[in-house]
Amino acid sequence: MSFPMTPAEARVDLSAIRENVRQLASHAPGAEMMVAVKADAYGHGLIPVARACLEAGAGRLGTAYIREALELRAAGITAPILAWIIPPGEPLEQAIGGDIELSASSLSAIDVIATAAAAVGGTAKVHLKVDTGMSRGGAMAAEWSALVQRALRHRAEGVIEIVGLWSHFACADIPGDPSIATQLAAFDEALLIAEKAGAGGSHVIRHIANSAAILTLPQARYDLVRPGIATFGLSPVPRLGGFGLRPAMTLVARIALVKRVPARSGVSYGHLYVTDRETTLGLVPLGYADGVLRHATNVAEVLAGGRRRRIAGRVCMDQFMIDVGDDPLTEGDEVILFGDGSRGEPTAQEWADSLDTITHEIVTRIGSRVPRVYR
């Protein structure tokens, strides 16, 4: 048996990511695909994942911040990239020079982008975002027409090119939620306003569909779809199943210490776990500094020695314990926290369910001390 060179690693199956991209594309025939690779590709590794997605047929990439898009450019990735969160002080001139598309949700945002484009003697490619009911990013309906008109004015000045009109769902992962139809109607109205003003046309990409909408709302696919969590094989609507997606990440560690302890031994901080007999404990060198939620204490399970074991006692910053009873356990033995379930190990969905959260949080929390290994 060979061991990783580090106490733990996140194994990322790029072939699973490619398969998932192709599977998602089959649900949206005729639509372009922009894969969201923000947050280090949901913890899976920005550059390797971006390349795998493009190899599988995705034509575009999406990031939350400009710095993520610039990292993709620095790695030699030339595909269109949209960065959609533009706080004050962002390197807009560098983004425009790197042919990174930008999102604008307000008059001040479109003006700042236009000023940056003029400063570098270029034309910024902009997606205008409308708030259709999420009350997050995007211009409110009452401000939408003004945003479109301001963008058209900057377009006439040669510093703005309107390449997209977009929005985002609040409840696409809740099938049948009434807000879905409301948001689609609001989006259609915003598109009509933009088109009548001269900001539409076949060259302008319309998009609102996230992972859940791609898989459950054919009427929401428009010109482009934006898969995120589904790219990594994790269902955006768990109640409806896995949609044939394959989880790409397996989080593993190797036992750092094995010890035999007597009955009534308190384990870890606060003695929240007390042994009921003489037993064997194993120390797993991963903790909340690595993304293992502290709430996993006495709740989440791992696979060790061919069987599932519940975390025993408080999850610490760098480690947690498991109780294997009288089963054999050796320092260096592999422990699987979560994977695709094919070996009997828990999945990220099971971890999310047991901790009352979503798989997005489970995979994106895995910290930088845990190397990503690509297979």
Check whether 3 has a pLDDT greater than 90. no
Which of 199, 232, 265 lies at the terminal end of a domain, its last residue? 232
- Same structural domain, 47 and 183: yes
Average pLDDT over residues 110-138: 98
Q: What is the CATH number of the domain that holds 310?
A: 2.40.37.10
- Catalytic positions, please? 38, 269
Question: From CA 103, how far away is CA 82, in angstroms rounded?
Answer: 7
- Same structural domain, 223 and 352: no
Closest CA to 75 of 96, 42, 52, 103: 52
Question: From CA 4, how far away is CA 14, in angstroms rounded?
Answer: 19
- Same structural domain, 75 and 183: yes
Q: Residue 311 is part of which domain span?
A: 249-374
Check whether 2 has a pLDDT greater than 80. no
Note the pLDDT of residue 6: 83
- Same structural domain, 328 and 367: yes
358 part of a folded domain: yes
347 part of a folded domain: yes
3 state SS for 47-78: HHHHHHHHHCCCCEEEECCHHHHHHHHHCCCC
Closest CA to 125 of 161, 179, 164, 80: 161
- Same structural domain, 79 and 209: yes
Average pLDDT over residues 260-269: 98
127 part of a folded domain: yes
Q: Which of the four pLDDT bands, split at 50, 70 and 90, describes residue 5? A: low
Which of 171, 200, 232 lies at the terminal end of a domain, its last residue? 232
How many structural domains compose the chain?
Answer: 2
* pLDDT tens string 12-62: 999 999 999 999 999 999 999 999 999 999 999 999 999 999 999 999 999
* pLDDT tens string 91-123: 999 999 999 999 999 999 999 999 999 999 999
Closest CA to 338 of 373, 313, 304: 304
Record the pTM: 0.95
Note the pLDDT of residue 324: 98
| Contact predicate 334/343, CB 8 Å | no
- Same structural domain, 43 and 146: yes
- Same structural domain, 208 and 281: no
Question: From CA 12, how far away is CA 248, in angstroms rounded?
Answer: 5
Average pLDDT over residues 274-279: 98
- Same structural domain, 133 and 182: yes
